[in-house]
Amino acid sequence: MELNNILIIRLSSLGNVLHALMINQTIRDHFPNAEIDFVVRDQFAPIVEMCNAVDNLILFERKGGLFGFNRLLKEIRKKRYDAVLDIQAQFRTGLMVATARSPLKLGRKDAREGSGFFCNTIIELPTNPNPHQVDTFLQFLPPLGKPAKLGSPVSFESPDLNSIEPELVSNPPIVLLPHSRGKEKEWPHFRQLTHEILKQFSGQSVVWDSHIPIPSKELDSEANFFNTSGKTSIPEMISLLKSAKAVVANDTGPMHIAAALAKPTIALFGPTCFEKYGAYPLHNPRNVNLQSSQSDWCDIPTNRVLNEIQKLLEL
């Protein structure tokens, strides 16, 4: 099968957009000369725009109203596609599929809001009862004549690290991502972990990053500690992750970015299931997914995470 023009639709959220970009990268590996367009919500456009495997970005403006949505449909209608992949599977993305000119329109068996009606090929779902999101998204590949197997790491163009934190250029950091959506998903020991890393790994730099500011008054006097939380854009955050020796994160979108970049990643899970949302590939030695069965996270103590960091640094 030869594909020259491909449309991928995934509007949100950050983690799932990143997972869709992993599929995008795999398609690029198989079809290096294809032109790949990607429809995404405007909030997540920067990460798609940075991806080297995406040729054209089509914006879904959530607050654009009917006028904005109609403009998007006209943009999709301009080109004839060899394949359209509705990875989002909602009614509004179904309308995008219906508008697209393509002989192959792929939808999901678990499609919502009747969006599968607009597709002419429905992908099979993984047979295991609790599949990872990436394993589900990989099922879009067999109808394209390719195996449901992940390709190369996602490649991003990002700002020079020197423009963000010059001292990290010569001292690659361990990046910690303490924030997540909802306090119940936040491991409570990042401060203690930071103290222990700085004490036990002599000269090692540590960075906290997040899209919101996180106070770190008790750590700010440490020579090798850097708090960039609330200061970095998505492109700058990706630069930090690209430079990292290892990443420790809650269940959050940037954790998936670290894993997609093939960075040694420790992902900490409380109420959400790591089998479905963990750092992927789940069984790759560079990805460590720790699941807590306790609301106070007592079964993931600081020393356990510290030991996992040591193992990853020795890979």
Every domain of the chain and the residues it spans: 5-144, 171-313
Backbone angles phi, psi at 220, to 5 degrees: -65, -20
Residues facing 239 on adjacent strands: none
CATH of domain 5-144: 3.40.50.2000
Whether 33 contacts 3, CB under 8 Å: no
Helix (H, G, I), strand (E, B) or coil at 308: helix
**Which tokens sit at 105?**
């329109």
Per-residue confidence in pLDDT tens, the chain, 315 aa:
899 999 999 999 999 999 999 999 999 999 999 999 999 999 999 999 999 999 999 999 989 999 999 999 999 999 999 999 999 999 999 999 999 999 999 999 999 999 999 999 999 999 988 899 999 999 999 999 999 999 999 999 999 999 899 999 999 999 999 999 889 999 999 999 999 999 999 999 999 999 999 999 999 999 999 999 999 999 999 999 999 999 999 999 999 999 999 999 999 999 999 999 999 999 999 999 999 998 889 999 999 999 999 999 999
Residue 37: what pLDDT?
Answer: 99
Backbone angles phi, psi at 184, to 5 degrees: -65, -15
Residue 295: what pLDDT?
Answer: 86
Q: Homologous superfamily of 171-313 in CATH?
A: Glycogen Phosphorylase B; (3.40.50.2000)
DSSP class per residue in 141-192: SGGGTS-S---SPP-B----GGGT-GGGSSSPPEEEE---SSGGGS-TTHHH
Whether 184 contacts 271, CB under 8 Å: yes
Residue whose structure tokens are 């099979």 = 124
Instruction: Give the span between the Cα atoms of 141 and 32, in whole angstroms.
Output: 15
Whether 50 contacts 156, CB under 8 Å: yes
HSE of 245 in the Cβ direction (CA atoms, 13 Å)? 21
The DSSP symbol for 198 reads: H
Instruction: Give the span between the Cα atoms of 132 and 43, in whole angstroms.
Output: 24
Residue 272: what pLDDT?
Answer: 92
**Rounded to 5°, angle at Cα 306 from 193 and 233:** 55
HSE of 182 in the Cβ direction (CA atoms, 13 Å)? 9
Residue 129: what pLDDT?
Answer: 86
On the question of a common fold for 5-144 and 171-313, the answer reads yes
Instruction: Give the span between the Cα atoms of 253 and 258, in whole angstroms.
Output: 9
Instruction: Give the span between the Cα atoms of 284 and 153, in whole angstroms.
Output: 13
Of 56, 58, 83, the C-alpha closest to 71 is 58
Own/partner pairs, 226-233, CB within 8 angstroms, 24+ separation: 226/165, 226/167, 226/168, 226/173, 228/164, 228/165, 229/178, 229/179, 232/164, 233/46
Helix residue spans in the chain (DSSP H)? 14-30, 45-50, 65-77, 91-99, 133-137, 190-200, 234-243, 253-260, 274-277, 302-313
